[in-house]
Amino acid sequence: MGAMNEQALAKYTNNFLREVEERVEEGDWVKMCMQCGVCAGSCPFGPDWEHSPQKIFMMIRAGKRDEVLSSDSMWMCTSCYNCVVRCPRELPITQIMHGLATYAERLGLAPKMNPTRKFSLQFWDNCTRTGRVNELKLVLQVYFRDGFVSGIGKFWDMRATGLKLLLARRMNPFELLFPHRCKDAKGIQAMLKKAYEIEDRRKGFAK
């Protein structure tokens, strides 16, 4: 077989769909999409992102690996499940979108500057460290995301709400220094580590 032939073969062998089926959560559903467009039209964030689920699924099948994995679309999903309940083929679209986002993040291809990606990472880090979400820390991180001055501005805008939360004992300033934690935070971290190990082994992520 000549080099030209092999090139053509490589071009037309859809490895990316197979990759998605094997390594992305619920990825084996992608081939079931019949391109009706109901998900795209049902998405409340539809006009605001680059690729609708319908388009993402078609791009996967067309082998557009880089465009799919670096897309911001999966990061914009708010898990409203509108697409899932309306999909005539019952595809778990929300789950696939989150699966794709996670997969892109693992490969380091996710868009670095995407705000929802940043927030997701901050949230995950926040809640796995102690086994409890530290809301005060999370809020501060979000407020000061765009620099100190902008953070102070947001803080000032929300002062009335903050004061009420404080009086109602829904917010404790000492949390910043002494965060509450679950009984066995170490245990949770060990559990997550083991889960990653199992997933790596099953999905064939090389260590």
Question: Interface with other proteins by CB under 8 A: which residues?
Answer: 34-42, 46-47, 52, 54-55, 85-90
What is the DSSP secondary-structure string of 73-94? HHHH-----HHHHH-TT---HH
N- to C-terminal Cα separation, the chain: 34
Q: How far is the CB of 93 from other proteins (least distance, A)?
A: 13
Helix, strand and coil content of the chain, in percent to the nearest 5, comes to 70, 0, 30
Alpha-carbon distances of 106 from 17, 51, 101, rounded to whole Å: 18, 20, 9
134 within 8 A of 179, measured Cβ to Cβ: yes
Q: How far is the CB of 77 from other proteins (least distance, A)?
A: 16
Q: How far is the CB of 115 from other proteins (least distance, A)?
A: 23
Nearer to other proteins, 41 or 187 (CB): 41
- Rounded to whole angstroms, the Cα distance separating 160 from 169 reads 14
Contacts 24+ apart (CB under 8 A), 198-201: none
Q: How far is the CB of 55 from other proteins (least distance, A)?
A: 5
Nearer to other proteins, 41 or 153 (CB): 41
Nearer to other proteins, 46 or 179 (CB): 46
Nearer to other proteins, 47 or 147 (CB): 47
72 within 8 A of 111, measured Cβ to Cβ: yes
Burial class of residue 63 in the structure, from the number of CB atoms within 10 Å of its CB (0-12 exposed, 13-18 middle, 19+ buried): middle
Q: How far is the CB of 56 from other proteins (least distance, A)?
A: 11
Nearer to other proteins, 88 or 108 (CB): 88
Nearer to other proteins, 51 or 98 (CB): 51
Q: How far is the CB of 37 from other proteins (least distance, A)?
A: 4
